[in-house]
Structure 1
Amino acid sequence: MGLDDEAREYHRRNPPGKLEISTTKPTNTQRDLSLAYSPGVAAPCRDIADDPDQAYNYTAKANLVGVVSNGSAVLGLGDIGAQASKPVMEGKGVLFKRFADIDVFDIELDLDDPSDIVRSVRAMEPTFGGVNLEDIKAPECFEIEERLRTEMSVPVFHDDQHGTAIISGAALLNAAELVEKDISDLKIVFSGAGASAIASARFYVSLGAERENITMCDSTGIITEARAGDLNEYKREFARDAPEGDLADAMAGADVFVGLSVGGIVSPEMVRSMAENPIIFAMANPDPEIGYEEAKEARDDTVIMATGRSDYPNQVNNVLGFPFIFRGALDARATEINEEMKVASAEALADLAKQDVPDAVVKAYGDQPLQFGPEYIIPKPLDPRVLFEVAPAVAQAAMTSGAARKDLDVADYAEELEARLGKSREMMRVVLNKAKSDPKRVALAEGTDEKMIRAAYQLQEQGIAEPVLIGSEERIDRTAAKLGLDFQPTVVDPRDDGYESYTDRLYELRKRKGLTRSEAGELIRRDTNYFGSVMVERGDADALLTGLTHHYPSALRPPLQVIGTAEDANYAAGVYLLTFKNRIIFAADTTVNLAPDEAVLAEVTKHTAELARRFNVEPRAAMLSYSNFGSVTNEGTRKPRDAVRLLHDDPEVDFPVDGEMQADTAVVEDILNGTYEFSDLDEPANVLIFPNLEAGNIGYKLLQRLGGAEAIGPMLVGMDKPVHVLQRGDEVKDIVNLAGVAVVDAQEE
């Protein structure tokens, strides 16, 4: 099946299209319906009539954008009309929701006259918190946007103009830095004089480019003052007092080429005529003005190249802009999206490209190295950090420039945005903020691993922990330099002299377990897990992370042998935090105890409840089984039942716990309170204790893979000192998260 046929099938599959409306409030009972509609709805209606701003509190307006088009300039298709443009506008709505959690109504207007479009959109202002104009031809689009910005008090943004301008502007800032040229000195040539080109030229001026250094070409050639009588007012803005000529004449000696025209019109000779280390943005789609390889091969010096295509580096993609710009504008309740907000978004994107790239983003793009440089000058569209980098910058600019009607604490706002990406981020933010209040020394046993070094950089940069990398200092420095990480981590090399006391301590701890002194010395020098365990046991570090390159049991064995369990604990256990859209679950034991008896189950429950409180969650524990409260009696069901009895008899247990119970009884309120009203749990459980390791491991993985849960962990509880064992192949964010948990553990110590 070809791409066209596959796309047709994708769109017509039931239900047809790409968007639907879903309810955000309960509608299960008559009471719910009377609140949602008549008679309850009258109260918010009266409040809004008295104060129109209450619409932002009582309705979806604060998170609703209208995507408006007449289909007169659809990318790659031209003037196809309003009806035919609907799949594109629905697609725009998908991007708003996917990247910034903004809801959209797509509005296709069968109108050509700008005044009719302005009148129609303006009449819809009570509906929307903002308006995104899309695929409206030039020059009408300029007039429509300018009039609507003047006549409406919600943000109006024509993405075809400003989206490309902002994203390519971010790329221009970084490209100029890489070739060591000041943006005010750049000689910039545009091929194309439509909405995107004119908006981009204007925006580059806002970023610091000089207007007299910009040469714009249309299909006739260089736009000069001599042609002024034949130009519309928008082209006249960039008419130059210069000799007439064609694009080749304009490009000779230019620092920057910006293509927003048609494919294949730039030759290698034209590239060779440009100034040293040229910047080429060939953004015609689907075929750029010159191919990526052609431009690169045309010269021996540095050519920084960007296109509109996803199969080459530096894709200028508008999805890096509009969702996040509107997010910040909506949340600041801005009256407009002004130049200051656009500049702030470009600068935020440029800054983000210089930061270490998450593993998930690298994997999404084929595991290609992504590091600030000529092949990576703007972030990738799938980078989740764009949301909480760009939107706060836009909101701050809205407040600073006077466009905002709502004050936001930008630091708190960034955390709120992070939570939109998933409940797990919200939960981890609680822990990471605690960690930052008093960072501790975290030993990273596999210190020469690239992921560990990147994690150490983030931990130090964000003030979460004081990372200690265990391994060869030379290898660590070389890898950090290759990754472009400018930091000075604490490095401890077990092969250096001076660690005889570590050998002595390991020997002392294990000599009656069959370990000789020479074997202890070899383990200290060669096995960073033993070295790190002794380091933490002696107090030279506060916590240990390991397991990234080891099987879980082999990574867990050294800390168990050296550090052991806490004084009040006989068993360690592995806990996963599973986050759903509106619920969190702590699942234990998922990694350590194969066949726990009632004493182990009881102790694991206490440890897990303590962990939940570190995440500011009040625990409600359920002992899981295939039996409900004695419905089946055998050895398997007696163990969780007896564990509950032990916990009820324990004066230190100050949280509700009950069981044995089936999994759905534990988590479904109607079953728990409707059928088993005698239960000690008056709300569904958030701590689930599995009857054995097999059930726990199967259960959490099913919840993660089929239930859509995000998983944090495994977090090791019950140890005498903070130790966490990663899963092999974990990402940098997993290392950072567990390091944050370890720091909070150490603070508790």
Structure 2
Amino acid sequence: MGLDEDSLDYHRSDPPGKIEISTTKPTNTQRDLSLAYSPGVAAPCEDIAADEGKAYTYTAKGNLVGVVSNGTAVLGLGDIGAQASKPVMEGKGVLFKRFADIDVFDIELDQHDPDDLVRTVRAMEPTFGGVNLEDIKAPECFEIEERLREEMDIPVFHDDQHGTAIISGAALLNAAEINGKELEDMKIVFSGAGASAIATARFYVSLGARKENIVMCDSSGIITENRAQHGDVNEFKDEFARDIPEGDLATAMEGADVLVGLSVADIVSQEMVRSMAADPIIFAMANPDPEIGYEEAKEARDDTVIMATGRSDYPNMVNNVLGFPFIFRGALDVRASDINEEMKIASARALAELAKKDVPDAVVKAYGDQPLQFGPEYIIPKPLDPRVLFEVAPAVAEAAMETGVARSELDTEEYVETLEARLGKSREMMRVVLNKAKNDPKRVALAEGTDEKMIRAAYQLREQGIAEAVLIGDREEIEVTANDLGLDFDPEVVDPENGDYEEYADRLYELRKRKGLTRSEAGERIEKDTNYFGSVMVERGDADAMLTGLTHHYPSALRPPLQVIGTAPDVNYAAGVYLLTFKNRVVFIADATVNQSPDEEVLAEVTKQTAKLARRFNVEPRAALLSYSNFGSVDNEGTRKPRDAAKMLREDSAVDFPVDGEMQADTAVVEEILNGTYEFSDLEEPANVLIFPNLEAGNIGYKLLQRLGGAEAIGPMLVGMEKPVHVLQRGDEVKDIVNLAGVAVVDAQQGE
């Protein structure tokens, strides 16, 4: 089946299209409905009538964008009409929602006259927080956007004009830096003189290029003053008419530093590329096929050719989705009246800076595990990089506030946290812990210090001020890897094989000599096994916490810290806990990694330690001990263990949180069952700490919730240890290491 048939199936499968409307408030009772509509809705209506700004408080206006088109210039399809453009406009709405959590109404208008279109869109201003104009042909699009920006008091943005300008502008900033060129000195040639090309040329001038250094070519050749004087170009092309001899694109490209292609496929030859200045920059962005192929452009010369296209199968894809969702996010969140030039520049510079940062593992995996490191093959971030939201939206919001178009103020640091929450509850929960960690960073030993992920994590921990990371391993190997990764930092390294650590060996021998370990074996383990080295390091107080497990099986990674550090004085058993986050709920699940067949005393201990962990995330624990029975409905050895554990906890005066059991899982988490059928329960609200009866059930339960229930998992977090130790899962990503290091720092803070 070809791509076309796949796409038709994708769009016509039930329900047809790609979007739907869902409610955000309860609608289950008569009271809910009376609040949502009549008579309750009268109150917000009256408030808005008295103060129209209250529409942002009481309605979805502040998160709603209208995607408006008349279908006169759709993708590569041309003037196909308003109705035929609807799949594209729905798709635009999908991108707004997916990347920036912005809701969209797609508006297709069967209007070709600019006056009619302006009048119609302007009349819809009360509905939207902003308007994205899409696929409207030039030159009418210039007039329509300009008039709507003047006549409307909400942001109006024609993405076909400005999107490519902003994204390629970010790429240009980095390409110029890599090739050692200054924007103001570069000769820039445009192949194409449509709306996107003109807007891009204007934007490059805003970034620092000189207008007199820009040569623009349309299908008739170089746009010159002579052609303008003879009426051969429209008023918009006339803006870039040059007082130079006429010629074709090949003539224009001679000696050029930059070629910006926004025209048609295969219009540029290798000979034309060879005529350009040293180390040229080529943005061949015609879609689906560029002005010159990626390989052809690279092969044309021996020096550094920095190439970008509009295609995803080559490096440096100029994709508008890097811009419009995040620009609108920042504009909406400060209730901006406009998207001005300063906001566009801020977004381009934020994108350029992000490309210089270490790329998350999830992004690398999404693009086939290809290396992504700042350089000629990576000058702009990838569209699936979630950090774009946290970089671009705050930059846009800040520029809006600085230039006076914002109608509300926000704290940019707090704003980043609200943006993280939009991407999932797990980010919101981790932000609580990471903020605590930043208040008093601790030394965290990373036992597998030569691993690339550990080195990248150490860099991020230092950059973000979360922890003082100590990498354990071969110093030379670590420094070479850090340099190869382009990480600009001097890592703290402890090299067991190249240092005097006799005291560590003595301490390990002292701890384990009556458990089968000789002095020579202790010395060998300190020198060769970084898990033992790190454990002694933490036990002696030379580090505050330790992470390991990335390249080991969980039991083998856990054994050294258990033998050397051990559990806390009042604790006999450690346990593994996962934090699972759903859209509007978080739960802690234990034990999922350590204790195979716990008795009632172990279950009680695990419950107390998990409750302590919940409070580190600012969650007040409500614990349920789970089984397949409810409060004695089945009586056997298996059900008695959680029942007795719950009884022990309720009778323990040191337990200051509600706990009950044994109970079935749905009883624990469904309020109607808990309070309706079992109103005698000590839990007045659904549980958020779920204690499973054994390791098998806990491990199965958390994985099912994660894979089928759509939960995001943080962990496993080890609780009950004398000093903070966390054992990673094999294959964890850098963000997982950073998150667990943050948890370890907070553990250490509380231990003090």
**Distance in 2 (alpha carbons) for counterparts of 1:543 and 1:338:** 48
**Distance in 2 (alpha carbons) for counterparts of 1:645 and 1:418:** 40
Q: Give 1:467-478 correspondences, 5 Å limit.
A: 467-478=469-480
Task: Tell me the SS of whatever aligns to 2:125.
Answer: coil
Equivalent pair of 2:268/2:291 in contact (CA under 8 Å)? yes
Task: Tell me the SS of whatever aligns to 1:567.
Answer: coil
**Distance in 1 (alpha carbons) for counterparts of 2:422 and 2:394:** 13
Q: Deviations over 1:676-717 (max 9, x none)?
A: 111111110000000000000000000000000000000000
Deviation at 1:116, TM superposition (A): 0.3
**Distance in 2 (alpha carbons) for counterparts of 1:9 and 1:25:** 33
Q: Which amino acid aligns with 1:446?
A: E
Of 721, 728, 735 in structure 2, the residue corresponding to residue 733 of structure 1 is 735
Q: Which amino acid aligns with 1:378?
A: I
Which residue is equivalent to 2:666? 664
Which residue is equivalent to 2:167? 167
Of 685, 688, 707 in structure 1, the residue corresponding to residue 687 of structure 2 is 685
Of 226, 237, 240 in structure 1, the residue corresponding to residue 239 of structure 2 is 237
Which residue is equivalent to 1:179? 179
Query: Displaced runs of 4+ in structure 1, greater than 4 A?
Result: none
Gaps of 5+ in 1: none
Deviation at 1:289, TM superposition (A): 0.1
Equivalent pair of 2:479/2:491 in contact (CA under 8 Å)? no
Deviation at 1:399, TM superposition (A): 0.1
Which residue is equivalent to 2:614? 612
Task: Tell me the SS of whatever aligns to 2:190.
Answer: strand
**Distance in 2 (alpha carbons) for counterparts of 1:186 and 1:748:** 57
Deviation at 1:497, TM superposition (A): 3.0
**Distance in 1 (alpha carbons) for counterparts of 2:213 and 2:570:** 74
**Distance in 1 (alpha carbons) for counterparts of 2:668 and 2:220:** 73
TM-score (norm: length of structure 1)? 1.00
Task: Tell me the SS of whatever aligns to 1:314.
Answer: coil
**Distance in 2 (alpha carbons) for counterparts of 1:517 and 1:356:** 43
Q: Which amino acid aligns with 2:689?
A: V
Task: Tell me the SS of whatever aligns to 1:67.
Answer: strand
Q: Deviations over 1:113-167 (max 9, x none)?
A: 0000000000000000000000000000000000000000000000000000000
Which residue is equivalent to 1:317? 319
**Distance in 1 (alpha carbons) for counterparts of 2:341 and 2:676:** 58
Which residue is equivalent to 1:599? 601
Deviation at 1:408, TM superposition (A): 0.6
Which residue is equivalent to 1:91? 91
TM-score (norm: length of structure 2)? 0.99
Of 561, 564, 567 in structure 2, the residue corresponding to residue 562 of structure 1 is 564
**Distance in 1 (alpha carbons) for counterparts of 2:421 and 2:650:** 36
Task: Tell me the SS of whatever aligns to 2:126.
Answer: coil
**Which moves more between the two structures, 493-502 or 88-97?**
493-502
Q: Deviations over 1:64-121 (max 9, x none)?
A: 0000000000011000000000000000000000000000000000000000000000
Q: Deviations over 1:412-431 (max 9, x none)?
A: 00111011111000000000
**Distance in 2 (alpha carbons) for counterparts of 1:75 and 1:194:** 13
Q: Percent identity?
A: 85
**Distance in 1 (alpha carbons) for counterparts of 2:421 and 2:739:** 15
Of 691, 705, 712 in structure 1, the residue corresponding to residue 707 of structure 2 is 705
**Distance in 2 (alpha carbons) for counterparts of 1:565 and 1:459:** 26
Which residue is equivalent to 1:422? 424
Of 438, 443, 446 in structure 2, the residue corresponding to residue 444 of structure 1 is 446
Which residue is equivalent to 1:222? 222
1:494 aligned to 2:496? yes
Q: Which amino acid aligns with 1:511?
A: K
1:653 aligned to 2:655? yes
Equivalent pair of 2:254/2:277 in contact (CA under 8 Å)? yes
Which residue is equivalent to 1:118? 118
Which residue is equivalent to 1:623? 625
**Distance in 2 (alpha carbons) for counterparts of 1:251 and 1:219:** 15
**Distance in 2 (alpha carbons) for counterparts of 1:424 and 1:365:** 23
Q: Which amino acid aligns with 1:245?
A: G
**Distance in 1 (alpha carbons) for counterparts of 2:422 and 2:487:** 29
**Distance in 1 (alpha carbons) for counterparts of 2:417 and 2:186:** 38
Which residue is equivalent to 2:387? 385
**Distance in 2 (alpha carbons) for counterparts of 1:470 and 1:410:** 36
Deviation at 1:230, TM superposition (A): 1.9
Task: Tell me the SS of whatever aligns to 2:746.
Answer: helix
Q: Which amino acid aligns with 1:141?
A: C
**Distance in 1 (alpha carbons) for counterparts of 2:468 and 2:672:** 47
Q: Which amino acid aligns with 1:309?
A: R
Q: Which amino acid aligns with 2:499?
A: D
Q: Give 1:214-363 correspondences, 5 Å limit.
A: 214-228=214-228, 229-363=231-365
Equivalent pair of 2:622/2:657 in contact (CA under 8 Å)? yes
**Distance in 2 (alpha carbons) for counterparts of 1:184 and 1:631:** 80
**Distance in 1 (alpha carbons) for counterparts of 2:392 and 2:536:** 44
Deviation at 1:231, TM superposition (A): 1.4
Deviation at 1:496, TM superposition (A): 1.8
Which residue is equivalent to 1:366? 368
Which residue is equivalent to 1:106? 106
**Distance in 2 (alpha carbons) for counterparts of 1:669 and 1:355:** 45
Task: Tell me the SS of whatever aligns to 1:495.
Answer: helix
**Distance in 2 (alpha carbons) for counterparts of 1:582 and 1:206:** 43
Q: Which amino acid aligns with 2:162?
A: H
Q: Which amino acid aligns with 1:507?
A: Y
**Distance in 1 (alpha carbons) for counterparts of 2:610 and 2:525:** 32
Q: CA RMSD in A?
A: 0.4
Q: Deviations over 1:156-205 (max 9, x none)?
A: 00000000000000000000000000111110000000000000000000
Which residue is equivalent to 2:678? 676
Which residue is equivalent to 1:635? 637
Equivalent pair of 2:590/2:692 in contact (CA under 8 Å)? yes
Task: Tell me the SS of whatever aligns to 1:230.
Answer: coil
**Distance in 2 (alpha carbons) for counterparts of 1:363 and 1:421:** 19
Which residue is equivalent to 1:213? 213
Q: Deviations over 1:627-662 (max 9, x none)?
A: 001100000000000001110111110000000000
Which residue is equivalent to 1:579? 581
Q: Which amino acid aligns with 2:400?
A: A
